[in-house]
Amino acid sequence: MRYLRLGTLCAAVLVAGAASAADVAVLKSADSPAWRPTLDALRRSASGHNVTEFDLRGDRAEADRVVASLKGKPGILVALGPIAAQAAREGAPDSPLVFCMVQDPARLNLVGVPNVTGVAYAIPIKNQLAAFRLVNPRGVKIGVVYNDGNVGRLVDDAQKAAAIVRLNLVARPVASEKEVPEALRSLLKGDGAVDALWIPPDPVLLGDESRRYVLAETLKAGKPVYSFSSTLVGEGALVSNGPDLGSIGDQAADLVNRIAAGERGKIEMLVPRAELVVNKKIADKLKIEIPADALRAANKVF
């Protein structure tokens, strides 16, 4: 009888586990290689669910089409990037939505909304600037090229935080990628040249052509690049201090698991771990001496 009760209990647990499995549609604003660690972690940590990826190819019309095909179906939407998040929020408001890789979720009306939660795509900007100062103490005048509509609020916050960590931030707004070369030249040349360039998570700077141009021109000018992304450090930036992309995937999966298990109501947005990555080869090429404390603090060194 004891074994029968034990078998019944095990069967009940298996049924309960099966009931919590969900269909999870992962909507990718674009098929960005930089996001693969997040997707891999999400799939690993949400392995009990049926996960399907949809590439929206950076096209809002395609995003709307895919969301319309999923509307009304049971399941959970996971949106990577602003195009996917906005399309899911507007096109399927009754579906549970977990967003990530969105720089300013409040601007897209994703914060404090029923059925919507997510993972932040940033760590406090003051912490980022302090990490940059730790790695390159002599770099006190930092330039940034940015599009106001994309990351204007982040740059405003950085301007305020810079004084706290004894940095001077020189900002050059641009309307499009075509204006990036001129804005960059104004920062790298002349008496007012900056000590380093900061690349924020701005799509204007992250396309293949713009990104490679910025990295090449700053290297020619003998200036280091600071970034939010370890991928950019691998491509030639000196340092990044940003969210651990695997951590974002793990936390997005945690939210998916909680929703699939029946949790409802307001679920607070999660904050990922920070990751400090340093490119010592670039430091040597630019004759920058990275303090030993910074190297010890780094999660990864190229």
Q: How far apart are CA 229 and CA 275, in angstroms?
A: 9
The predicted structure's pLDDT at residue 4: 36
Buried b (16+ CB within 10 A) or exposed e, 30-51: bebeebebbbebbbebbeebeb
Q: How far apart are CA 87 and CA 80, in angstroms?
A: 11
The structure's pTM equals 0.71
Mean pLDDT of 248-259: 97
The predicted structure's pLDDT at residue 182: 97
Asked if 279 contacts 237 with a C-beta cutoff of 8 angstroms, the reply is: yes
Mean pLDDT of 272-280: 95
Does the pLDDT value for residue 3 go beyond 50? no
pLDDT digits (tens, 9 = 90+) for 118-135: 999 888 899 999 999 999
Structure tokens at 192: 């007012």
Q: Find the helix packing angle between 82-91 and 60-70, rounded to 10°.
A: 40
Mean pLDDT (the chain, rounded): 91
Asked if 302 contacts 233 with a C-beta cutoff of 8 angstroms, the reply is: yes
Q: Find the helix packing angle between 36-45 and 245-260, rounded to 10°.
A: 30
Cross-strand bridge partners of residue 76: 24
Q: Provide the 3-class DSSP secondary structure of residue 188.
A: helix
Structure tokens at 233: 């450090």
Predicted confidence band of residue 2 (pLDDT cuts 50, 70, 90): very low
Q: Which domains does the chain have, with CATH numbers?
A: 20-121+245-272 (3.40.50.2300), 125-243+276-301 (3.40.50.2300)
The predicted structure's pLDDT at residue 206: 86
pLDDT digits (tens, 9 = 90+) for 24-52: 999 999 888 778 999 999 999 999 999 99
Does the pLDDT value for residue 17 go beyond 80? no
> What one-letter code names the amino acid at 56?
L
- Of 8-22, 39-53, 168-182, 247-261, the least confident: 8-22
Predicted confidence band of residue 287 (pLDDT cuts 50, 70, 90): very high
The predicted structure's pLDDT at residue 14: 38
Predicted confidence band of residue 15 (pLDDT cuts 50, 70, 90): very low
Predicted confidence band of residue 187 (pLDDT cuts 50, 70, 90): very high
Q: How far apart are CA 39 and CA 128, in angstroms?
A: 24
The predicted structure's pLDDT at residue 107: 86
Mean pLDDT of 138-154: 94
The predicted structure's pLDDT at residue 8: 39
Mean pLDDT of 239-261: 95
Q: Find the helix packing angle between 148-164 and 125-135, rounded to 10°.
A: 60
The predicted structure's pLDDT at residue 258: 96
More confident of the two residues 280 and 123: 280
